[in-house]
Structure 1
Amino acid sequence: MKARKKTPPVPMKKEPRFAPGNEDLLEQPATEEEKKRGEFTRVTTLSYDEVDPG
């Protein structure tokens, strides 16, 4: 059995890009540079529209 070569660890980014509960980040549009690089995610927000039955 051959020994596998270890891949070097991926460097971590210095600051977090998203944290659970941080919805403000989802509302920011992608910049033109991010769009060109494909670094964006389409986000769809669903909300329940309550109608008073009475």
Structure 2
Amino acid sequence: MTTFTMPELPGITFTAERGGLDPDGKLNPSWIQVTGTDQGEKVVCSVGFAGP
């Protein structure tokens, strides 16, 4: 898992995780999920895509 912030979006922390479930609910080791949370740990965005 990787955690990062962006100066353009203060107060939001992003985590990127490899693996997990794709949109069909199947385990996919090349799936990458990026989730953004605010300072109260509320999810403000979540996106997933198939990686290399």
Q: Taking CA–CA contacts closer than 8 Å with sequence separation of 6 or more, which of the two structures ends up with the larger relative contact order?
A: 2
The structure where strand makes up a greater share of residues is: 2
Looking at secondary structure, tell me which structure has more helix per residue: 1
- State the structure with more CA Rg: 1
Fold similarity call, TM over 0.5 = no
**If the length of structure 1 is used for normalisation, what is the TM-score?**
0.23
TM-score, length-scaled by structure 2: 0.23
